[in-house]
Chains A and B, each alone.
Chain A
């Protein structure tokens, strides 16, 4: 299985400031057949299921605010929240879907 490792485990950011979450995969999730990274980001609020934010490493899902952006390729990826809002408090997970899906351990984002 591909192991997904996120950093940090938690972070506290002031309202309006930038939050950055990193995700590293134990092997590349970049497909040579379509040149796409099989990497998604999800947001999970307490008591709720995960919600898809970004697929293919950088494509925002419909309705996701543009303050959320994804970047990276191969084995190293980043989720950035450009200006943290109160409603962004959640745990964020990366997931590879290159083969049998695996998830990172999650990063808890809080307000400083």
Chain B
């Protein structure tokens, strides 16, 4: 069965960077894309962007342009999300999620989420 397993919770200071991993199993990694979506406390789900696992093409939400980087390691079926210049407003649960196609905006499976806390 499709599984997306994310790395554990992170606590970071303002100005630091965080890198979250997402290991996929149960399907051919390079056939699908990986979305990153976050949920701040009491807020709606917020799309951060998408990486095409086949060709490494990325699309980022304009909100995060310049401080968000997606990468992937096809040999390990793992995607990574790195967010820099963190502020308290970046405190959120970050999810990786599978795109229903390599570049599809429809999300069909989600990781368990990684809590990122930004605090001095």
Contact = CB atoms under 8 A, between A and B. Distances in A.
Given A93-B45, A106-B44, A50 B105 contact: no
B44 A101 contact: no
Contacts of A55: 100, 106, 108
B95 interface: yes
Given A38-B105, A49-B95, A105 B44 contact: yes
A105 B44 CA distance: 5
B106 to A, nearest CB: 5
A41 to B, nearest CB: 12
A102 B47 contact: yes
Residue in A52, A61, A105 with the greatest tally of chain B CB atoms within 10 Å? A52
A103 B44 contact: yes
A49 B44 contact: no
A93 B108 contact: no
Interface in B88-113: 95, 97, 100, 104-113
Please classify how large the interface on chain B is, using the bins under 10, 10 to 19, 20 to 34, 35 or more: 20 to 34
A52 to B, nearest CB: 5
Nearest to B104: A97
Contacts of A35: none
Interface in A36-61: 38, 40, 48-52, 55, 61
Contacts of A50: 45, 95, 107, 110
A52 B46 contact: no
Interface string A87-106: 00000010101111111111
- Which interface residue of B45, B46, B61, B112 has the most chain A CB atoms within 10 A? B45
Contacts of A99: 105
Interface of A: 38, 40, 48-52, 55, 61, 93, 95, 97-106
